[in-house]
Chain A
Amino acid sequence: MLTLLEHIGRYFLMLQKTFGKFTKGKILQKLIFQEVDDLILRSLGIVSFISFFVGGVVAIQTAINTDNPLIPQYLVGFATRQSIILEFAPTFISVIMAGKVGSFITSSIGTMRVTEQIDALEVMGVNTYNYLIFPKIIAMTLYPFIIMISMTLGVFGGYIACITGGFASHAAFIEGLQLDFIPYHLTYAFIKTFLFAMLLATIPSYHGYFMKGGALGVGKASTTSFVWTSVAIIVMNSVVTNILLT
């Protein structure tokens, strides 16, 4: 059994080798397009769905829990915006993506390991780290766009919920949205989104690449990968928040 420290060491060695000998440009380009499709485009549906409805629920919860005549109506818009931009979209969606994108990455690399496709590439002289992991890292640099969409739809969902449920007027919600807007909060949100994207691309790759055991191992590796990716995201979140916001 490897200790946690050995895993971390092997993970960083993996990253180093990923940026070692590069795969031929034309092939790499094709792989990157494939990954953008698999990891980014295929995630849009679920992210949009979740963001819209959770945004709505956040707004409703804020409204009914602050049902006090002393608290102004615009607070709902303000609170929805803050919680979605600061935490829900970047962090919560990333944990969901650790399940979706993460287990996809682990199982696809893991299957290649089990069926000796990785060995076959290696025998040909391919740098398998670069071939398998680098395109995923590049594709995941587009991940902030997913989060941008999530933020937009989350706030929009909150707005729709307020208007249709009569929790706040159009004017009050919009006023709340614009209240005390600090652009740095967006910078902070996107810095951590980018870091989460890198975790989402690399930790599941690690678990797939170094998995052991047959087809059963692939399922086990996907589960372990989800656990560790979410743990890493949560830890990274508190570290980054401590550094950037305090």
Chain B
Amino acid sequence: MIEINQLSKSFEEVKILDKISTQFEKGKTNLIIGQSGSGKTVFLKCLLGLFTPEEGEISFNGQPLSEMNDNARSSLRQDMGMVFQGSALFDSMTVEENVMFPMQMFTNVATDEIRDRANFAIKRVNLINANNKLPSEISGGMKKRVAIARAIVMNPNYLFCDEPNSGLDPKTAILIDNLIQEITKEYEITTVINTHDMNSVMEIGEKIVFLEHGKKEWEGTNKEIFKTDNQAVSNFVYSSELFKKVRKVYLDENS
């Protein structure tokens, strides 16, 4: 469980996040949506502790981030997995080495066991025959899978994904979404996903936070987003004719 209270962040006098409060529950896929430049990545990086907010508090399982000392912070970090927007794989390491890396860095487990656990994670994300390839030798979809495997190899309690399916074809995008949701359920992880993919919103949006100009404009579930009369979120989600129709069908079926 992550609680965010009145979070604000500016860069050089420009307010990027403005007093955002919300919470993300365990075992759920929580989505942050919003236009490009609305502050989704900055928000996620505040949760990760990569950016320090000027105002507000973020708590992990009731523990405020600001009250943690360095040790508490570094053990929290090892309890977090992150899938970056561009995968951020280490390009001098093979796929297997990438996934093994966090365990090699932070545990004293023997290399053979690390390799077993890495391969378990690699299998879990359905990657086959890629162990010895370099990141430059695999496709974008495979990179995302490696990034997810690396993020879950330490069995984290928190998983953050920055646009996990951007740049992927629709079918692969859905597979990646489903994979993240399955893993979230299976290991009872608190998952936060940035996205502007409407498929993801409809499919895995158990909780959706809509950001606009750095403010939280709306929050709810994927069921509620069909019924909302909030103009800003409707304009964003139903900007395409297709999704307008989807909404109409959904409302007709459920009325």
Most interface-central of A24, A111, A119, A125 (chain B CB within 10 A): A125
A117: interface (CB < 8 Å): yes
Cα A82 to Cα B155 with chains together (Å): 63
Chain B interface (Cβ < 8 Å from any Cβ of A): 45, 48, 50, 73-74, 77-78, 80, 82, 84-86, 88-92, 101-102, 104-106
Name B80's contact: one of A23, A27, A119, A123 (CB within 8 Å): A123
Q: Does A122 sit within 8 A of B, measured CB to CB?
A: yes
Q: List 13 A-B contacts (CB under 8 A).
A: A24-B106, A27-B105, A115-B91, A116-B84, A117-B88, A117-B90, A119-B45, A123-B48, A124-B77, A124-B78, A124-B102, A124-B106, A125-B77
CB distance from B88 to the nearest CB of A (A): 4
In the bound assembly, the distance between CA atoms of A87 and B84 in angstroms comes to: 48
A120 within 8 A of B: yes
Distance, CA A115 to CA B136, complexed state (A) = 13
Take A115-B91, A117-B91, A119-B50 as given contacts and tell me if A125 and B86 are in contact as well, using a CB distance cutoff of 8 Å. no
Q: Are A125 and B48 in contact (CB under 8 A)?
A: no
Closest to A26 in B: B104
Task: Let me know if A123 and B90 touch, CB within 8 A.
Answer: no
Is A142 part of the binding interface, using a Cβ–Cβ cutoff of 8 Å? no
A126 interfacial contact with B, CB 8 Å = yes
A122 nearest in chain B by CB position: B50
**B80 cross-chain contacts in A, Cβ below 8 A:** 123
Cα of A119 to Cα of B51 in the assembled complex, Å = 10
Size class of the A contact interface (CB-based, 8 Å): 10 to 19
- Are B88 and A126 touching (Cβ within 8 A)? no
Name which residue of chain A comes closest to B85, CB basis: A116
Query: DSSP majority for the B interface?
Result: mixed
User: With A and B bound together, what is the CA distance between A22 and B86 in angstroms?
Assistant: 28
Q: In whole angstroms, what is the CA distance A26 to B110 when docked?
A: 12
CA distance A120 to B81 in the complex (A): 9
C-alpha spacing A126/B73, complex, angstroms: 12
Name the A residues within 8 Å of B84 (CB-CB): 116, 119-120
Q: Provided the pairs A115-B88, A116-B85, A120-B84 are in contact, do residues A24 and B48 lie with their beta carbons within 8 angstroms?
A: no
Residues of A within 8 A of B105 (CB): 23-24, 27, 124, 126
Which B-chain residue is minimally distant from A30 (CB atoms)?
Answer: B104
A84 to B50, CA, bound (A): 48
- The answer, among A23, A34, A119, for a CB contact under 8 Å with B88, is A119
CA of A116 to CA of B74 in the docked complex: distance in angstroms? Answer: 19
Closest 6 CB pairs of A and B: A125-B77, A116-B88, A120-B88, A125-B74, A116-B84, A123-B82
Q: A117 to B82, alpha carbons, bound, how many Å?
A: 11
Q: Count chain B CB atoms within 10 A of each CB in A24, A34, A116 and give the residue with the most.
A: A116
| Cα A124 to Cα B84 with chains together (Å) | 12
Give the chain B neighbours of A26 by CB distance below 8 A. 104
